[in-house]
Chains A and B, each alone.
Chain A
Amino acid sequence: MKRIALLGMPNTGKSTLFNRLTGAGARIGNWPGITVDLLSAKVLLGDSLVEVVDLPGIYNLHGFSEDELVVRRFLEAQPVNFLAVVLNASQLDRQLALPLQLKGLGIPMLVLLNMADEARHLGIRVDTAHLEQVLGAPVRLVSAKYGTGIEAVRQELAGLLHAHPKLQRIDTRAFAEDDQIERELDALVSRSVHAPVLIPPSATDRLDRLLLHPWLGLPLFFGIMFGVFQTVYSLGAPLQDGMGWLLGHLKEAWIEPAAAGLPTGLRSFLMDGLYDGVGTVLTFLPIIAVFFVVMAVVEDSGYLARAAFLVDALMSRLGLDGRAFVMQLMGFGCNVPAILGTRIMRSPSLRRLTMLMIPLSLCSARLQVFLFIITAVFAPRAAAVALFSLYLMSFALAFLTAFLWRGRFAGSEPLLLELPPYRMPTFRFLVLEGWRATLQFLRGASGFIVLGVVLVWFLTHYPFDAAPAGPDTLAGRMADFMAPVFSPLGLDSLLAIALLFGFVAKEVVIGALAVIYGAGGGELASLLAGRLDWVQAYSFLLFTLIYTPCLATLSTIRQESKSWPFTLLALAWPLALAWVASFAFYQGARALGF
């Protein structure tokens, strides 16, 4: 099959162009010798079916960042018909370096000057005829975001495929020589790019004067994050409830009657295990989708890089950068999308450190559990203090985690980010992005989630003649066995079983307690108040806050890090931290006579 590789510097609109050219049919795929997944799609161009591959953005053909290695490996291993090189038309002063380097590969090119709209706005004129002559390749102006010039590009691509029908290998010698193209670049830029000497102060400059203000910048940042947060949860929470309601109804009206004839064990497995477990995780889906749309707005608008600028002074001392903090805040809604959001970080070690930190954010699922128990056990005035202290703990432990592990994961990557102009995302983009990201989450995480749900069901139901989640089940026996571990924390075995349920999803903890104690709602609340004093209750809350990330979070970590050892660490570290924190609190409080 014919193949075109799409190449360019980061932030040139390469992904936008790829989506324009390929529509919805893009797939993530592995390529031999390459560790990261690449997006590719099969498109009909003229009369031939072509595979278009989106390569990661690179600054330099000769560099050694992960992305640059990926691009070189791909080009070494995969023959292509030609390269489509995407440049930002308003930044040709530096971006023309890339096609000059690529010329040495001896492969036909098509050069696409994207963001033609912005270049025109800035008064930049480009002599495409001269560029074509020097680069030896056709040059076209396009605007991927608004779709102008795309049809012409498609025809051009089809024409080029006719002219170069054979797959070709690149001349790998070009990788070895680090060419001195600077003089060539200067000459080319001064001949072909005509820009006004003085750039007029833009709307972006004016907005930045406010949003990046030395003293107002941070308060505005927190205000904006709060707004984002509010939007996600005021839109997402009702959708989540709706999803829960829908799943409950489906179960009652269709699935329970259908399963009525099955043997009890199998029915319990299907209903209480698979359906309820997977259903619980599924109710996250609306929040995740809304989150992706809102994050796409924040990211696409160009504000994310500004946020990094604002909080970097603090974060750099923890071995992190500002983008990690944004994701940590997002984690207070739900950890899963926040973990997925770490994709904006290029350095793998920085991403891992952030992924280790995010699960400590007090997500909305944990908040439900806390509210229930705090209201049951604490006096009204103490309740607010207890909740607030849990939020403080969440921050403190996340920073502690980053601080302790920064030596292991510290990115050697210095912060060097482009600050793009503010841009308004299009509606079309937001819908596509939300849809794409949600599907990707489902595809990646579903297998692991089913596995975990089945495991917890088995532990709490085997042997099948015992009362579910009772002391005679495997889980109950495990809890007895673990009693020496939990009793120093003031937790009895029934609470320990509830924690096991919480592994599937933290909000299940209350439901599990209801099953275990055989009491629900207000009855459960007064039961808990009778059985637990505030020290035990707070120890339980602390443990719930910190211990292992929920199944959805863990499977996302696995999917994003592509590493079992790291996933295991992400499971074990918070467990250890939870035990130490609860132990210190419980024993300390008891020693003080509470």
Chain B
Amino acid sequence: MPLSLNQLAPAAIAVIHALNVGQDLRRRMSGLGLRPGARVQVIRTSPLNGPMQIRVGHTDLILRRAEAARIEVAAAG
């Protein structure tokens, strides 16, 4: 079953499979390091369904869960 980034709990690590977003957002995401094959770690999530903080390489990012739901991932060690 495909997993999406918003389903991961803090401290989970996963590998990005696909970005189900429009071309423009995809470009911005990949500029920030979010691209297929990249390892992401969830650092924390904010209460009341607020945004989540993730780490890709040496970059920390915040994004809303709506966008995270469109990032397909596979769990990794």
Name A's B-contacting residues (CB within 8 A): 9, 58-60, 62-65, 90-91, 93-94, 97-98, 122, 124, 182, 186, 195, 199, 208, 212, 214-215, 217, 305, 308-310, 312-314, 316, 414-421
Contacting pair A415 B31 (CB below 8 A)? no
Residues of chain B lying within 8 A (CB to CB) of residue A93: 33, 57-59
A/B pair count, beta carbons within 8 Å: 110
Option from B28, B37, B44, B58 in Cβ contact (under 8 Å) with A416: B28
A91 contacts across to B, CB distance below 8 A: 33, 57-59
A214 and B58 form a contact (CB under 8 A): no
Report the minimum CB–CB distance from A189 to chain B (whole Å).
9
A60 adjacent to B62 (CB under 8 Å): no
CB <8 Å contact, B30 and A97: yes
A312 with B61, Cβ < 8 A, contacts A60-B27, A60-B31 known: no
Alpha-carbon distance A168/B44, docked complex (angstroms): 48
CA gap between A417 and B62 in the complex, in Å: 5
Pairs A–B under 8 Å by Cβ, sample size 28 = A59-B28, A60-B28, A60-B31, A63-B27, A63-B28, A63-B31, A90-B58, A93-B33, A94-B30, A94-B32, A122-B58, A208-B44, A212-B44, A309-B46, A309-B62, A310-B46, A310-B50, A312-B46, A313-B49, A314-B48, A414-B67, A415-B62, A416-B61, A416-B62, A417-B61, A417-B63, A418-B32, A419-B60
Given the contacts A94-B59, A418-B59, A312 and B50 also touching, CB distance less than 8 Å: yes
Quick one: which of B9-58 are within 8 Å of A by CB? 24-25, 27-33, 35, 37, 43-44, 46-51, 53, 56-58
Give the residue name and chain of the B residue nearest to A302 (CB).
B60
> How distant is A88 from chain B, measured CB to nearest CB, in Å?
9
CA distance A215 to B44 in the complex (A): 13
How long is the Cα–Cα vector from A62 to B26 in the complex, in angstroms? 11
Bound state CA distance, A506 and B60, in angstroms? 43
Tell me whether B66 is interfacial, beta carbon within 8 Å.
yes
Chain B residues with CB below 8 A from A308, complex form: 62
* Interface pair B24/A94, CB less than 8 Å apart: no
In the bound assembly, the distance between CA atoms of A98 and B61 in angstroms comes to 19
Q: B48 to A313, Cβ gap below 8 A?
A: yes
Q: Is the CB of A195 within 8 A of B51?
A: no
Q: Report yes or no: B58 in contact with A415, Cβ–Cβ below 8 A.
A: no
Q: Which residues of the other chain, A, contact B27 by a CB distance below 8 angstroms? A: 59-60, 62-63
Q: Is the CB of A214 within 8 A of B62?
A: no
Since A93-B57, A309-B62, A310-B46 are in contact, a sample of 20 more A-B pairs with Cβ atoms closer than 8 Å, ordered by chain A residue number, is A59-B30, A60-B28, A63-B27, A63-B28, A63-B31, A64-B24, A90-B58, A208-B44, A212-B53, A214-B46, A217-B46, A305-B62, A309-B51, A414-B25, A414-B63, A414-B66, A416-B67, A417-B62, A419-B53, A420-B60
CB distance from A202 to the nearest CB of B (A): 10
Query: Which residues from A are CB-within-8-Å of B43?
Result: 208
CB neighbours of B64 from chain A (8 A): 312, 316, 414-415
Minimum CB–CB distance from B5 to chain A (whole Å) comes to: 12
Verify A312–B58 contact, CB threshold 8 A: no
Q: Which residues of A contact B56 (CB under 8 A)?
A: 94
Contact of B51 among A98, A124, A182, A312 (CB under 8 A): A312
Scoring B residues 60 to 77 as 1 if CB is less than 8 Å from chain A, else 0, what string do you get? 111110110000000000
Q: How far is the CA of A416 from the CA of B67 in the complex (A)?
A: 9
* Residues of chain A contacted by B32 (CB below 8 angstroms): 59, 94, 416, 418
Question: What are the 5 tightest A-B residue pairs by CB atom distance, in nearest-first order?
Answer: A59-B31, A313-B50, A94-B33, A419-B60, A93-B57
| A313 close to B46 (CB less than 8 A) | yes
Report the nearest B residue to A420, measured CB to CB. B60
B34 to chain A, nearest CB (A): 9
Q: How far is the CB of A140 from chain B (nearest CB, A)?
A: 20
List the A residue with the shortest CB-CB distance to B33: A94
CB distance from B4 to the nearest CB of A (A): 15
Residue of B with least CB distance to A217: B46
Q: Measured between alpha carbons, how far is A420 from B63 in the docked complex, in Å?
A: 14
Are B58 and A195 within 8 A (Cβ)? Answer: yes
Contacts of B24 in A (CB 8 A): 63-65
Q: How far is the CA of A511 from the CA of B3 in the complex (A)?
A: 65
Nearest B residue (CB) for A314: B48
